[in-house]
Structure 1
Amino acid sequence: MVAHMQRFFALLILLLWANQSLASMQIDSSVAPNPVFVEERFVLTISVDANADKLELDRDALLRQGLVVGATNVSRNYQIINGDSRRQTTWRTEIYARKAGTYTLPAASVDGVKGKPVTIDVRPIPKQTGPARDLFIDAELSSTTAYLGQQISYSVKLYLGEELRNGSLADPQMADAAIRNIGSDTKTTEIVDGRRYQVIQRNFAVVPEQAGSYEIIGANVKGQLVKQNSRGQLYGLPVNESAPTLTLQVKAAPENYSGHWLPSELVTLHDEWQPQNSQLTVGEPITRTITLSAIGIEDKQLPNLQIQYPATVKVYPDKAINDTYVQEDRLIAQRVESVALIPTQAGELTFPALSVSWWDTAQNRQRTAELPARTFTVIAAEGQVPLAENTRQASPAQVEQDSTWFWPFILMSILWLVTLTAAIYSYLKRSKSTPQAQIQPASAKNLSFAELEKVCTTAQPAAIQQGLQRWCLSQGWRSRRQWLASVSATNAIQIENQLTSLDKAVNQQAETWPAEPLLAAIKSSYMQTVPANETSLPPLYPTA
């Protein structure tokens, strides 16, 4: 009796689990390509995220609409990603129509779960109004006017009606301008004059370096189109086509603009102090890192930062780092300046405000990026006599009595200066040696975002940096640049500033580092999207 009851409850649990799985199963139905021409084949694809067996497709309903239905092929896929398993079953059916019109394909059912119907637009085969073009190329500018130094996007589209072998696409040409390829090629299909073409699009950034009217010589494509002669033999037909020439009007800087000319969509200034204390000590170094970021220009256009430091601090600047990277088909320029500062006198120490003027190309007005002034309290080092107490006038007797200690004092001072210089040199050497561009593979397992949040609560810089590396690898990002390329330009600047601060904290072996701003930036940028691994560039010819 007990055994029967155990089997009954086991069967009941299995049925409940199966019903729950079916209820949560989603059926995706799609057709491609869409639209199509009469008698052009398209594929009906039905997929579910489960290991399903039975597909119910109303073929009679398709046949009654005059559609020709081919065989159905099924494929199953099983993956394990970050410890989570995923099963997928996909059915593909080839169909074509003998007449033009809009057809509704009935909803399919999988293991009793019903999907949604899909529609396909079938168009009549158009009459050829002109000579057939097997290949042509077109181009356009994001704007026909620009300011001196402002980025303009140039997009070229290559239309292929036949297979192209040994194809090469040359860059556009313009005098007095810097032109560079941005982003990856995209591959789509379009119908032009009743013919379907494979379209390859490539984008370029054009940054004019002189004002005036300029012509942009179009991109050029060369290669061989695969053709067939009357005897069925294949041969290569040489092609050499260029995109049309376009005109760009380049405006000079406005007469009422003052300062270093910096045209941009957005300019930001950000600084980080390590250690992050409001109280400093005489003789102990601190590090200030300033990051200047601008969208839509190259790094060579960024100005040198004019920073005035108080006379009561020793300044040891590091070499500035300039870089330009691409985000959302826009150039982003950055300049990072790091400096070691050593207070030499107790009291209040104020670093003045810093500002950079720039021209807002979206609103056509001058704006200013600013860093506010910062005040610290500097205390005397342990055992050091404050300057105010050491300024009493000494009597002749005291001077004569203390003169016996003069040479030992000079010797000790020299030894102290040598030790301090060695410490500063060691610090600057460490800060230069830390790589920041590549995310090194971690030997431990990859990290989920929830686990990354737990690591950040420790506020330990080294642990947070290692946790970020493991989390990035779990998302498929192998480098910092690849990571930042997956978010918007503005968020990329915010995240880069936080990562720079974290790098400095690790270099200086700081005990704590606040991770809340970095976590907030990551949440707003990534938790709503699914990052994808980089894919190879599409070829310059269609594939079967």
Structure 2
Amino acid sequence: MVTQTLSSRKALLLRLLGITPWRCLLPFISLMMSFHASAAPEISVSVAPNPVFVEERFVLTIKANTSADDLELDRDAMLRQGLIVGSTNVSRNLQIINGDSRRETTWRTELYARKAGVYTLPAPVVDGVVGKQIKVDVRPIPKQTGPARDLFVDAELSSDTAYIGQQVTYTVKLYLGEELRGGSLADPQMPNAEIRSIGSDKESSEIIDGRRYQVIARSFAIIPEQAGTFTIKGANVKGQLVKQNSRGQLYGMPVNESALDQQLTVKSQPESYQGHWLPAELVTLNDEWQPQSDTLNIGEPVTRTITLSAVGINDKLLPKLQVSYPNSVKVYPDKTDNDTYVQDQNLIAQRVESVALIPTQPGSLTFPALKIQWWDTKAEVMRIAELPARTIDVVGNGQAPAGASPSPLTQTTQVTSSDWLWPFWIMTLLWMSSTGVAIWLWVNRRPATLKDSNAKAHAIYNGLNTGSDKQKLKQLLRSINGQSATESQKQIQAWCLQQGYRHRQDWLSEFKQPEQDGITKALKAMDNAVQQGSNWSSDALVAAIIAAAKQQNQPEDSLQTFYPTR
């Protein structure tokens, strides 16, 4: 009886407050519904190969980023179109990375068509989520007009003319109609040139003369060292093709095929160009100061790192940096690093010079501008890469005000006393020891210098840097907003080099995965537009960068002005 009375009192109190048990459950129900909505799977649909020939089998692949059991695929719609539909195989995969589990379910269905035409495969439905329709181009089997080739090699040059030291890209393609065993690819040959493989091999498939070939492409950088017209001896492929005799037995047939030879005309340095010869597609200068400060202290060292980057050459052509410093600064040079690496099949040469600077007098110090002359191989004009001059104030403990003169007692002590020698030598030894340890630590972190030397690029998105650092990101957005795909790609590459990143991916790694995927998708669209020469709008890329920066705690008003709401 007591229990019933307490329950009735609680119910009465809830009614008086306007709260019903159903209202109490509403937040929980809403939370469960939102969780269910966020857990909706993402569906991807693909067909390979496409296009195909009549009666050639192809595979419909459906993937869901969750563990799903319910797949709805309208097989009757495919049968009505005349497609032959095979069985569907399902596989599930679970990955656990750093405690984060990822599930994936994949369905694969084999199909083929007995008539040529364009077939539309219906949209699959997985756990109530609808995928997309996809079209398959089925082509008739062409008649063979010539002898079938089981293997052949083709090659192309990015340009048939170049300057001394300028990179030319040589791409060789191996077409395989049969399996190749023990295959080897010999590099192209050219006198008076440096040749090196760049990037990794790319695999694809092509239909030629009614036959499908597996295509393996490999790229080489050819850097001519002497003017004149030279013959590039084509890349050579050797190995054994797997063949079958009339009795069904397999055997190896030796093959030895080469790409056709090509001509390359190498031009010398233009007469109008004077000074160190530096042919490139792009040259940038960047410097970093550690620690970063608007003022320097007397006797305290600061490290300055200058990075010279050039696209389309190797580091052998990079000049020494002729940097001058004020007389009131002691300069302790560190070793210089030269390196050449590959980005998007382009050679990137870099020279990194570091010095330790110790100011000895108070006042205003001006570090002169640094200029590098170079030859633009695309526009065929001379350009100047410049590092602007920088003025820094030097202060120190016990610094006398401007216009004040030291007291007579101080002057007498400085002239007559030699007691300062011992503290001076002790401080010098301590400073040399600490500097040696700092240099050793700096040298041992060199492999990460090109990426980590510009920590400002990461700090921009965390809102930790000064206004000048935020201006760099604004400058990138201004340079790509409304530009063509080719110009935007060039500006992004230049910006990454200026920020000390070897690859665009190094920059993208600063973002979290969802924001990184958004920028990556926009960059791929830009790259595809450059390759295909199609129209492209920078709106999606600019919006993706702004969204990623905001997610990284970037103040909203610092970026919003570059992408107004339309």
Tell whether 2:283 aligns with 1:267. yes
Native 8 Å contact 2:496 2:502 kept in 1: no
Cα distance in 2, alignment partners of residues 352 and 491 from structure 1: 23
Which amino acid in the other structure matches residue 39 of structure 1? E
Q: 1:313 aligns with which of 329, 345, 349?
A: 329
Indicate the residue corresponding to 2:497 in structure 1: 493
Indicate the residue corresponding to 1:529 in structure 2: 520
Tell whether 2:324 aligns with 1:324. no
Greater mean alpha carbon deviation, residues 408-417 or residues 159-168: 408-417
Which amino acid in the other structure matches residue 333 of structure 1? A
Indicate the residue corresponding to 2:146 in structure 1: 130
Greater mean alpha carbon deviation, residues 91-100 or residues 159-168: 91-100
Indicate the residue corresponding to 2:559 in structure 1: none
Compared CA separation, residues 26 and 168, structure 1 to 2 (3 A): same
Cα distance in 2, alignment partners of residues 193 and 161 from structure 1: 12
Native 8 Å contact 1:226 1:237 kept in 2: yes
Native 8 Å contact 2:450 2:502 kept in 1: no
For structure 2, the residue ranges without an aligned partner over 5 or more in a row are 8-20, 452-457, 466-490, 523-566
Shift in Å at residue 268 of structure 1? 0.8
Shift in Å at residue 256 of structure 1? 0.9
Q: Secondary structure at the match of 2:316?
A: helix
Tell whether 2:248 aligns with 1:232. yes
Native 8 Å contact 1:491 1:521 kept in 2: no
Cα distance in 2, alignment partners of residues 270 and 372 from structure 1: 10
Which amino acid in the other structure matches residue 528 of structure 1? I
Native 8 Å contact 1:327 1:489 kept in 2: no
Tell whether 2:445 aligns with 1:434. yes
Q: Secondary structure at the match of 1:294?
A: strand
CA-atom RMSD in angstroms: 4.1
Cα distance in 2, alignment partners of residues 522 and 115 from structure 1: 23
Matches within 5 A, 1:159-174: 159-174=175-190
Q: 1:279 aligns with which of 281, 292, 295?
A: 295
Cα distance in 2, alignment partners of residues 211 and 498 from structure 1: 31
TM-score by length of 2: 0.72
Compared CA separation, residues 234 and 24, structure 1 to 2 (3 A): same
Shift in Å at residue 458 of structure 1? 7.3
Native 8 Å contact 2:47 2:61 kept in 1: yes
Cα distance in 1, alignment partners of residues 281 and 83 from structure 2: 53
Cα distance in 1, alignment partners of residues 150 and 91 from structure 2: 35
TM-score by length of 1: 0.75
Compared CA separation, residues 51 and 256, structure 1 to 2 (3 A): same
Shift in Å at residue 25 of structure 1? 4.1
Which amino acid in the other structure matches residue 305 of structure 1? L
Larger % of helix: which? 2
Indicate the residue corresponding to 2:354 in structure 1: 338
Matches within 5 A, 1:459-470: none
Tell whether 2:208 aligns with 1:197. no
Which amino acid in the other structure matches residue 364 of structure 2? E
Greater mean alpha carbon deviation, residues 289-298 or residues 336-345: 336-345
Q: 1:76 aligns with which of 89, 92, 101?
A: 92
Native 8 Å contact 2:343 2:502 kept in 1: no
Cα distance in 2, alignment partners of residues 15 and 345 from structure 1: 66
Compared CA separation, residues 376 and 190, structure 1 to 2 (3 A): same
Indicate the residue corresponding to 1:539 in structure 2: none
Indicate the residue corresponding to 2:436 in structure 1: 425
Which amino acid in the other structure matches residue 218 of structure 2? R
Tell whether 2:238 aligns with 1:222. yes
Q: Which has the higher contact order (CA 8 A, sep 6+)?
A: 1
Cα distance in 2, alignment partners of residues 263 and 522 from structure 1: 38
Shift in Å at residue 144 of structure 1? 0.9
How many residue pairs end up in the alignment? 467
1:156-180 CA-partner distances (Å, limit 9, x unpaired): 0000000000011111111111111
Indicate the residue corresponding to 1:468 in structure 2: none
Compared CA separation, residues 195 and 220, structure 1 to 2 (3 A): same
Native 8 Å contact 1:69 1:94 kept in 2: yes
Cα distance in 1, alignment partners of residues 35 and 324 from structure 2: 72
Indicate the residue corresponding to 1:476 in structure 2: none
Tell whether 2:342 aligns with 1:351. no
Q: 1:364 aligns with which of 380, 387, 390?
A: 380
Native 8 Å contact 1:264 1:296 kept in 2: yes
Compared CA separation, residues 24 and 417, structure 1 to 2 (3 A): closer
Q: Secondary structure at the match of 2:364?
A: strand
Shift in Å at residue 420 of structure 1? 4.2
Shift in Å at residue 33 of structure 1? 0.8
Shift in Å at residue 372 of structure 1? 1.6
Shift in Å at residue 528 of structure 1? 1.3
Which amino acid in the other structure matches residue 436 of structure 1? P
Q: 1:66 aligns with which of 79, 82, 87?
A: 82
Shift in Å at residue 358 of structure 1? 0.7
1:314-336 CA-partner distances (Å, limit 9, x unpaired): 21100101111111111111111
Which amino acid in the other structure matches residue 170 of structure 2? Y
Matches within 5 A, 1:12-23: 13=29, 17=33, 20-21=36-37
Indicate the residue corresponding to 1:41 in structure 2: 57
Q: Secondary structure at the match of 2:276?
A: coil
Which amino acid in the other structure matches residue 363 of structure 1? A
Native 8 Å contact 1:272 1:290 kept in 2: yes
Shift in Å at residue 80 of structure 1? 3.9
Compared CA separation, residues 26 and 288, structure 1 to 2 (3 A): closer
Indicate the residue corresponding to 2:468 in structure 1: none
Cα distance in 2, alignment partners of residues 213 and 82 from structure 1: 57
Cα distance in 2, alignment partners of residues 231 and 411 from structure 1: 97
> Aligned residues: percent identity?
58
Which amino acid in the other structure matches residue 216 of structure 1? I
1:63-91 CA-partner distances (Å, limit 9, x unpaired): 33332221121222333455554433322
Indicate the residue corresponding to 2:72 in structure 1: 56
Indicate the residue corresponding to 1:295 in structure 2: 311
Cα distance in 2, alignment partners of residues 520 and 84 from structure 1: 18
Compared CA separation, residues 393 and 111, structure 1 to 2 (3 A): closer
Which amino acid in the other structure matches residue 493 of structure 1? L
Cα distance in 2, alignment partners of residues 421 and 76 from structure 1: 62
Compared CA separation, residues 372 and 494, structure 1 to 2 (3 A): closer
Shift in Å at residue 295 of structure 1? 0.8
Indicate the residue corresponding to 1:98 in structure 2: 114
Which amino acid in the other structure matches residue 55 of structure 1? L
Native 8 Å contact 1:297 1:331 kept in 2: yes
1:87-113 CA-partner distances (Å, limit 9, x unpaired): 333222211111222222233344454
Cα distance in 1, alignment partners of residues 336 and 157 from structure 2: 34
